[in-house]
Amino acid sequence: MKSNNISLPFYSNFLTDSELEWQMSRSEKYCLIEVLKTLSPDVSIEIGTYRGGSLQVLSKYSKNVCSIDISEEPQKFLKNKFDNVSFSIGNSYEIISKIILEIESKNRKVEFILIDGDHSKKGIIKDLESILSHKFKNPLTIIMHDSFNPQCRAGIKSIDYSKYTGIEHIELDYITGSFSPNKDYREMWGGFAMIKINTNQKTNYKVNASQDMLFKRAYVGSIHIIKDKLSFLKPIKKLIYSALSLKQKSDLYNNFNN
């Protein structure tokens, strides 16, 4: 039977828990496992946990993990699954700076951050600015999911990285994303962008986008070309959906029974 499911089948020695839905493609899963295995972080932070798919990898390879989610559902669903994970509920860009300071005050090192929360242009900018304005004393790897999504990519690209020190590498297409994945007709999702911070590095940043040509080709044939122009209608869409009791994608995150 034909399937355009970009995450299955997935064969790996990493034993996934089938109860923990993992919203990533095959290539992203392999990459996340390998990166974390290589880094063995002291402390990792995950922004955007949902049902814990990616969290299970962070938990296995890091000494401790802090999960941040705007919804209470991940904590309720996952609190008994991991003994090295703490859960913080709130808007990531409002609480992450305090969380990093708290971790460092205990002489622990934040060595890995996965950003997979608010994918809007404004959201990713706020997340990245909150993280990059912190002066890390140790090397840090940041992975941002959905760098192939036009809004998310535009946010990552628009930051003035020259303001921050220690940036060794920025790659928008560390892992390339997908076109029309699963049921998202002509949408562009997935992909990993990666930022490497090395505290001994002189700032000599250059935003690299090794698959920008592919991104631009895909964008021309995508639904985003229309959607992005109509984004000012989002509040109205919200009103119509709630008046008609229709479910939006984000409702899934606020109530796992949806």
Can you tell me which of 75, 86, 91, 180 binds ligand SAM, judged by CB under 6 A? 91
Residue 66 interacting with ligand SAM (CB under 6 A): no
Q: Are 51 and 256 in contact (CB under 8 A)?
A: yes
The nearer residue to ligand SAM, 115 or 167, going by C-beta atoms, is 115
Taking CB under 6 A as the binding criterion, the range among 2-10, 69-77, 187-195, 200-208 that sits at the site for ligand SAM is: 69-77
Q: Are 228 and 150 in contact (CB under 8 A)?
A: yes
Question: What sections of 107-199 are H helices per DSSP?
Answer: 121-132, 150-158
At its nearest, how many Å lie between ligand SAM and the CB of residue 195?
17
Residue 190 interacting with ligand SAM (CB under 6 A): no
Q: How many whole angstroms separate alpha carbon 56 and alpha carbon 59?
A: 5
The nearer residue to ligand SAM, 184 or 212, going by C-beta atoms, is 184
Residue 179 interacting with ligand SAM (CB under 6 A): no
DSSP 111: E
Q: Are 155 and 145 in contact (CB under 8 A)?
A: no
Closest CA to 103 of 91, 95, 93, 114: 95
Annotate each residue in 39-58 with x if it binds ligand SAM (CB under 6 A) or - if it does not, as one string. Answer: --------xxxx--xx----
The nearer residue to ligand SAM, 49 or 62, going by C-beta atoms, is 49
Q: What angle do CA 155, 157, 159 make, to 5 degrees?
A: 75
Q: Where does this chain bind ligand SAM (CB under 6 A)?
A: 22-24, 47-50, 53-54, 68-71, 74, 91-92, 116-118, 123, 253
